[in-house]
Amino acid sequence: MKLTYDDKIAVLELGDDENRFSPSFLDEIEQVLDDVVAAGKQGEAHGLVTTAAGKFYSNGLDLDWLMANGDRTDWYVGRVQALLAKVLTLPIPTAAAVVGHAFGAGAMLAIAHDFRVMRADRGFFCFPEVDIRIPFTPGMAALIQAKLTPQAQVASMTTGRRFGGQDAAAAGIVDGTAGEGAVSAGALDLLRPLAGKDTGTLGAIKATMFGPAVAALTAG
């Protein structure tokens, strides 16, 4: 995981593997997000782009860890949902540069951002829960429903469909597409006009907009 800045926009590269949400991954990304928010309050971070270096944006839950730690499932899911709630309400503008596959909770991480740009010609965006027989938690369902139209909810949540970039844009799942090497630049371009938003005001607006989803994600 690597954090850099592009003209006061924080760019967080999640990694170059599947970027699954191991406990150590969750520890690291939460600390980075806290640092970016602190920088935002000081006027040093005007936005956040998350991206990746390999063929995956994120493959979501660390299923190997879950299988080895079944007695900690509730704790683990709670931590993942807390991360989603944090990203959903960050008090700075956010954009996901979906440079490769985004599956399951990895796709939910992208959905939690304000905007999404996806590679046009490679990679899939997918909620595979219906096919792997893992129903959405109330919090995860609430997150997706807070961001997508009813038609896109049905198309993505009940079918297990793998959306390429163009199809995801047509369904309103992502805000735009870009070619190889241009996805992060496209996400940055979405955020540049939003520089200088007051963090207190923006944070309060997001907390109100997404209050029901946050409540569902953070319910005990």
The kind and range of the H/E element at 126 are strand 125-126
Q: What is the pLDDT of residues 8-55, one digit of tens each?
A: 999 999 999 999 999 999 999 999 999 999 999 999 999 999 999 989
Q: What is the pLDDT of residues 142-179, one digit of tens each?
A: 999 999 999 999 999 999 999 999 999 999 999 999 99
Query: Parallel, antiparallel, or unpaired: how do β-strands 2-6 and 9-13 relate?
Result: antiparallel
Please check whether residue 169 is in contact with residue 175, taking contact to mean a CB–CB distance below 8 angstroms.
yes
The two tokens of residue 115 are 């905007």
Q: What is the pLDDT of residues 71-129, one digit of tens each?
A: 999 999 999 999 999 999 999 999 999 999 999 999 999 999 999 999 999 999 999 99
